[in-house]
A and B are shown apart, each in its own frame.
Chain A
Amino acid sequence: MTTSFIQSNPHPSMPAPPMDIGPGRWLRREVFSSPQQAIATLVGTYVVYMLLSTIIDFAIVRAVWIGTDKSACTGLSYEVGACWPFIWAKLGQLTYGFYPADERWRVNLVLVFAVVLLIPLLVPRVPYKLHNAVAFFGVLPVFAFSFLYGGPIITPWLKVASVMLLAASVVMLAIHLMVLNEQARAKQAVGYSILVIAIITGILVPHFANASTVPVVETTLTLGCLAAALEALVQRGAAARHKWALFGLGAAGAGWILAAAVSSGAIDKPALPVVPTSEWGGLFVTLVVATTGIVASLPIGIVLALARRSEASIIRTTAVIFIEVVRGVPLITVLFFATYMLPLFLENSPDAMVRVLVGISLFSGAYMAETIRGGLQAIPSGQHEAAAALGLNYSKSIGLIVLPQALRLVIPGIVNSFIGLVKDTTLVSIVAIFDLLGGLRAAFADPNWAGPSALYTGFAFAGIIYFSFCYLISSYSAHLEQRLRVDHGR
């Protein structure tokens, strides 16, 4: 009888050859795989060593840490590296510019608010994104500018409220027109004529009275809404939506009163000392310019991108010309345009800082438009068709179906253009706005500190700040990209 042998358990696998595991494999495969590679590795290591040792030597080993002026950093027995006292002495100027020292708490407070609102916006898990976004993109800019600039505290909010109420009354009027359209032709004709008469009266009366005291837009809107409300009352039994006309009347009236109160200067009392923008500077201005560009670029970009894809030829051409011209010229010419040309074209020249912010916003908006257009093009036409089949109108199909998908696709692109914007803010120093880099150049000129050591230290300091900002944003963008890709894979 023969015994058969069948192995029932798999034989344990052999260990890898000793040279093919662990650091040995890595060394052989990636570092010393051939003589050429070995030479490249050695040369590369030498370069890395030189760079690191120079940096450490400069920033730590040969650095001076304490002192009050440049004598601390000169005349030592060894060649001095970084002169950190220079940074300590100039820290206030580099951060706030010439913002008065007593008022700097305002800058800090705004910064704290910004960070508190921004962090939950960036962490994907936190809910209430929409509320958060409205607070950051809508409320914060108004608060920040009125608070940083100073002057009356309540008035800016009343101005905003007045504008919003008037906008609401415009919407109500539009709804009234729609209701009017659903009615018989004769009623339509009467309704339209009453409205037209009201609007013409609204324009003419302030013109003949005194245009500077009676606001034209507000009066026109109020009269229009009044006419609409009267019609609604007279034509009893019309659609229930007609009550919006009454709300419109209320909104327009309230807006009118608020506007009048603001312009009369009745509510100016609780006020902060005014800090003109010429005293703003340093890192703070860098952040103001970058944030304004970021906040403004999104709505401008969305409108331009939609306009560029519009079927209406005049709208499309206008958008194309604007986008291509702005993208075809350097930012510095746009800033020159905003600084030197804008005041010529306007009746009252706005503040220098505001002009630069307008230039930056238009510039970043044009670039953002192209990023968003990329997302819009990636949405298949089936989505538009499905929206149309559901009976959604243009604004609903864009706002509810197309834009949410398109924006999600281009989030990495949007974040990347933010990085570009942070770097581009340095250009404002060419048109005499003192951002971090401008403040640095001013600090170099201080005779108490001027010298090569201060120069290197200043560049090291500013470099670390710019690098950490941009590197943080780009790491966040990479993280986001990863997350979105995972979502798509599912």
Chain B
Amino acid sequence: MHRVAPREGRNAPRTALINDPKVRRFLLQALLTALLAFAAYSAVQNAATNLANQRIASGFGFLDQVAGFGISQTLIPWAETMTYGRAYVVGLLNTLFVSAVSIILATILGFAVGIGRLAPNFVISQLARWYVEVVRNLPLLFQILFWYLAVLSAMPSPRSALSILGTVFVSQRGVTLPQPVIQPGAAVVGIAALALIAAGAFAVRWSKARRDQTGTGLSKKASIALSIGALLILGACYVFAGEPVQLEPAKQGRFNLAGGVTMMPEFAAFVIALTVYSAANIGEIVRAGIQGVGKGQTEAGRSLGLKPGTILRLITIPQAMRIIVPMLTSMYLNIVKNSSLGVSIGYPDLVSVGGTILNNTGQGIEVIGMWMVTYLTISIITSLFMNWYNARIALVAR
């Protein structure tokens, strides 16, 4: 590691060859390489023998065969006559879908919990603290089974589904949300909304540029007035276009719920469990981030006469984000990896579908290899994205 350069020439001390760090390093590496090569060789040999004994052909040819099993939730069209390859893609999309939904919900809940733990209010901070303590000290698999077996399975049948304000229905068959119904004319509203967003963005930029130049941008009253005006225009467009976008809640029929978008119970329980579990961890990350910002920063903000909310928004959070983002990255990666637990309750994710393929075809090496490559790819892409974001918000040294 930190070595003094050896003396050269005739005066160099006579050291044994084996004590020369270079020789030793070479020998060690040669040994390791030989060991690895031997392990790989014998693994391949044994695998070939064992596979031949079990009459399993290796290779990825099985991906083109007909799968012949059903998948309960599919984001792309799926039929039993389609191939194993497509089944794998269906599973991959389900994994990504459940991860994305959980990441969004857990981030929102987690920030609320983290800020709640630091709230000056005793009851709120204790509530947040015990939420974190309980959830973080119970295994995720336990929580998934709890939500699936003890909560959602114990819900009433669809006929007497619990309804929240007549729009969302919770029953044994899952959670039913209203279905958005889109009629012609929606395009007008969409274009109007886009135009207003663009105008808003333009106004914000203009105001910032002006504030940088002259010291005064748009006043608070003016910006509120402009926002209300924009909303009114959007509302008017909506009414004149004949109210083209509507949410149609499901109707409670005699035996079943009609209409609506139903999330199957596996998905609902899984999302709830992943969200609740990850939010506790994100809450701790947020708390660590906010506490990591020096106290002097808040005090400096206060002595400048800023209000508590402004201090939080302009001083604390931007600095806390530098601490939070790297930890949040690994948390998001954890959510993606934890989404593999869907297999325990039959949510058709990557591992679940892959497991079915493995059982049907016996192609263990190929399927497990595909899993690993897929998860590694997802991990690398997520890390790259979060690193890019982290670099954007990192401290700019001048």
| Chain A interface residues toward B at CB < 8 A | 26, 29-31, 33, 37, 40-41, 44-45, 47-48, 177-178, 181-182, 311-315, 318, 325, 328-333, 336-337, 340-341, 343-347, 381, 384-385, 388, 394, 419, 422-427, 429-430, 437, 441, 444, 452, 455-456, 459, 462-463, 466-467, 470-471, 474
- Chain B min CB distance to A74 (Å): 15
* Given A333-B371, A444-B149: A427 and B141 interface contact (C-beta under 8 Å): yes
B188 within 8 A of A: no
Contact of B19 among A181, A444, A467, A471 (CB under 8 A): A181
Contact of B140 with A315 in the complex, beta carbons under 8 Å? no
Contact for B376 among A313, A329, A384, A459, CB less than 8 A: A329
Are B127 and A30 in contact (CB-based, < 8 A)?
no
> In the complex the two chains form, is A437's CB within 8 Å of B139's CB?
yes
Which of B165-173, B254-262, B314-322, B338-346 lines the interface with chain A?
A: B338-346
* A30-B122, A332-B341 known; A381+B2 contact, CB < 8 A: yes
Contact of B47 with A427 in the complex, beta carbons under 8 Å: no
Name the one of B119, B120, B368, B380 contacting A333, with C-beta atoms under 8 angstroms.
Answer: B368
Are B142 and A343 in touch, CB under 8 angstroms?
no
Known interface pairs A388-B1, A466-B142; A178-B123 also in contact (CB < 8 Å) = no
Q: Which residue of B2, B17, B19, B341 has the most chain A CB atoms within 10 A of its CB atom?
A: B2
Interface of B is mostly: helix
For the complex of A and B, 3 pairs with smallest distance between CB atoms: A181-B16, A44-B123, A470-B137
> B29, B42, B119, B123: which contacts A314 (Cβ < 8 A)?
B29
Q: State whether A344 touches B121 (Cβ < 8 A).
A: no
Which residues of chain B come closer than 8 Å to A178, judged between CB atoms? 16, 18-19
Contact between B28 and A312, CB atoms less than 8 A apart: yes
CA A437 to CA B146, docked complex, whole Å: 11
Q: How far is the CA of A331 from the CA of B140 in the complex (A)?
A: 13
- Given A341-B364, A467-B134, A41:B121 Cβ within 8 A: yes
Q: Is the CB of B123 within 8 A of A48?
A: yes
Give 17 A-B pairs besides A45-B123, A330-B341, A344-B364 with Cβ atoms closer than 8 angstroms.
A31-B121, A41-B122, A44-B124, A178-B18, A315-B32, A328-B372, A332-B341, A332-B351, A337-B368, A337-B372, A341-B365, A346-B43, A388-B3, A422-B139, A423-B138, A463-B138, A463-B146
Q: Are A325 and B149 in contact (CB under 8 A)?
A: no
Chain A residues in 8 Å Cβ range of B159: none
Q: For residue B51, which residues in chain A have a CB less than 8 angstroms away from its CB?
A: 344
The interface residues of chain B lying within 8 Å CB-to-CB of A337 are 368, 372
Contact A423 B139 (CB under 8 A): yes
Known: A315-B28, A344-B365. A430 touches B344 (CB 8 A): yes
- Asked whether any CB of chain A lies closer than 8 Å to the CB of B154, the reply is yes
Q: Which residues of B contact A (CB under 8 A)?
A: 1-4, 16-19, 25, 28-29, 32-33, 36, 42-43, 46-47, 50-51, 119-124, 127, 133-134, 136-142, 145-146, 149-150, 154, 333, 337-338, 340-341, 343-344, 351, 355, 358, 364-365, 368, 371-372, 375-376, 379-380
Question: Are A474 and B137 neighbours in the complex by a CB distance under 8 Å?
Answer: yes
Instruction: Please name the residue on chain B nearest to A349 by beta carbon.
Output: B50
Report the minimum CB–CB distance from B167 to chain A (whole Å). Answer: 23
Q: How far is the CA of A178 from the CA of B47 in the complex (A)?
A: 41
From B134, B142, B343, B351, A437 is in contact (CB under 8 Å) with B142
Contact A330 B351 (CB under 8 A): yes
B337 contacts which chain A residues (CB < 8 A)? 329-331
With most chain A CB atoms within 10 A of its CB, the pick from B1, B29, B120, B344 is: B1
Which chain A residues border B150 with CB–CB below 8 Å? 452, 455-456, 459
**A-B residue pairs in contact (CB < 8 Å), sample of 15:** A41-B121, A41-B124, A328-B380, A330-B351, A333-B371, A333-B375, A336-B351, A429-B141, A430-B141, A430-B343, A444-B149, A452-B150, A463-B138, A466-B139, A471-B133
CA distance A340 to B380 in the complex (A): 26
Give Cα A37 to B42, complex, Å: 68
Nearest B residue to A468 via CB reads B137
Q: Contact check: which of B42, B338, B364 meets A340 at CB < 8 Å?
A: B364
Residue picked from A44, A330, A384, A424, most chain B C-beta under 10 Å: A330
Give complex CA distance A413, B9 in Å: 49
Known A341-B364, A344-B365, A430-B344; judge A471-B121 contact (CB<8 A). Answer: no
Interface centre among B17, B46, B140, B145 (most CB of A within 10 A): B145
Chain B residues near A425 (CB, 8 Å)?
Answer: 139
Q: If A40-B123, A427-B341 touch, does A181 touch B142 (CB 8 Å cutoff)? A: no
> A44 and B139 in contact (CB under 8 A), knowing A456-B150, A459-B146, A467-B134?
no
Q: How many angstroms from the CA of A329 to the CA of B33 in the assembled complex?
A: 25
Residues of B contacting A470 with CB < 8 Å?
Answer: 136-138
Q: Is the CB of A40 within 8 A of B121?
A: yes
In whole angstroms, how far apart are the Cα atoms of A29 and B379 in the complex?
46
Residues in B whose Cβ lies below 8 Å from that of A467: 134, 137-138
Contact A330 B358 (CB under 8 A): no
Report yes or no: A345 in contact with B47, Cβ–Cβ below 8 A.
Answer: yes
| Complex alpha-carbon distance, A344 and B340, angstroms | 23
Across the interface, B33 reaches (CB within 8 A) one of A44, A314, A346, A462, namely A314
A344's contact among B32, B47, B127, by CB below 8 Å, is which? B47
Does the CB pair A37–B120 fall under 8 Å? yes
Decide: B18 and A344 in contact? CB cutoff 8 A. no
Whether B32 and A314, one on each chain, are in contact in the complex, defined by CB atoms closer than 8 angstroms, is yes
Q: Are A388 and B149 in contact (CB under 8 A)?
A: no
Shortest CB distance B251–A (Å) = 28
Contact of B139 among A29, A325, A343, A426 (CB under 8 A): A426
The answer for the CA separation of A31 and B121 in the assembled complex, in Å, is 5
- A344→B139 contact, CB < 8 A: no
Q: In whole angstroms, how far apart are the Cα atoms of A41 and B333 in the complex?
A: 35
Measured CB to CB, the closest approach of chain A to B117, in angstroms, equals 13
Whole-angstrom distance between the alpha carbons of A48 and B131 in the complex? 11
Contact status B149-A385, CB under 8 Å: no
Which residue of chain A has its CB nearest to the CB of B128? Answer: A44
Q: For the complex, give the distance between the alpha carbons of A347 and B141 in Å.
A: 34
Residue of B nearest to A473 (CB): B137
With known contacts A330-B337, A347-B46, A441-B145, A41–B364 Cβ distance under 8 A: no
Cβ–Cβ contact B123 & A31, under 8 A: yes
Contacts of B379 in A (CB 8 A): 328-329
- State A328–B133 Cα separation when bound (angstroms): 27
